[in-house]
Amino acid sequence: GHPPPEGMARIFVGAGRIAGIRPQDLVGAIANEARIAGREIGAIQIADRFSLVDVPASDADRVIQALRAGSLKGRKVTVRRDRGPKSG
């Protein structure tokens, strides 16, 4: 639950293990849809119902828009910036 590294932004993707999502699915979707090299994609965390992906902060908005426009494993998914741990 620690914040993404400097220069990275964490993206929330509303599909996870239950939907059969694997790290390579997320890397492939981001690389193909947002035109980002796979090596630029940071840590990927996959939970049962969602996934978190670290991408370069400068590309985050493009990645979010690309994933929203496309699909993951043939389904539309919720994509937004991860809000991180609730403070207060």
Its pTM stands at: 0.89
Task: Give tens-digit pLDDT for 46-64.
Answer: 999 999 999 999 999 999 9
Q: Residue 55 corresponds to which tokens in the numbers above?
A: 């991408």
Q: 67: part of which helix (H) or strand (E)? A: helix 60-69
Let me know: does 72 contact 38? Beta carbons within 8 Å: no
pLDDT at 85 over 80: no
pLDDT at 65 over 90: yes
pLDDT at 38 over 60: yes
Q: Environment class of residue 75 by beta-carbon count within 10 Å: exposed (0-12), middle (13-18) or buried (19+)?
A: exposed
pLDDT at 88 over 60: no
